[in-house]
Amino acid sequence: MIYMAIGIPLQIAFIDTMELMFIFEIISVIIQILVVFVTFRTPVMVKGGFTLGFVPILKNYLNNGMFYDIFGLLPMNLVLI
């Protein structure tokens, strides 16, 4: 959502070369990867308490949106070029 609200208008208004657009896309993908890593450090509730264990977080993330986050990492405008 932030990308659509800020990134696309910036590209339309100010970025006129392919090199700058490519750099902007790389930065966007890096930020999205950081979001995935932050999700792995977010505690989940297990048996009435919170845990930072990798396996419980992975199980929770696989059941609750990891596919969508990984699919969202694909820069569609660069893939379609």
> Tens digits of per-residue pLDDT, 21-61?
777 778 878 888 888 888 888 888 888 899 888 899 888 88
Q: What is the pLDDT of residue 75?
A: 67
pTM of the model: 0.65
Q: Which residues contact 54 (CB under 8 A, 6 or more apart)?
A: 40
Q: Tell me the one-letter amino acid at 61.
A: Y
Question: How many other CB atoms are there within 10 angstroms of residue 34's CB atom?
Answer: 10
Long-range CB pairs of 17-25, under 8 A, 24+ apart, other chains included: 22/78, 25/75, 25/77, 25/78
Question: How many other CB atoms are there within 10 angstroms of residue 76's CB atom?
Answer: 9
Domain boundaries along the sequence of the chain: 2-79
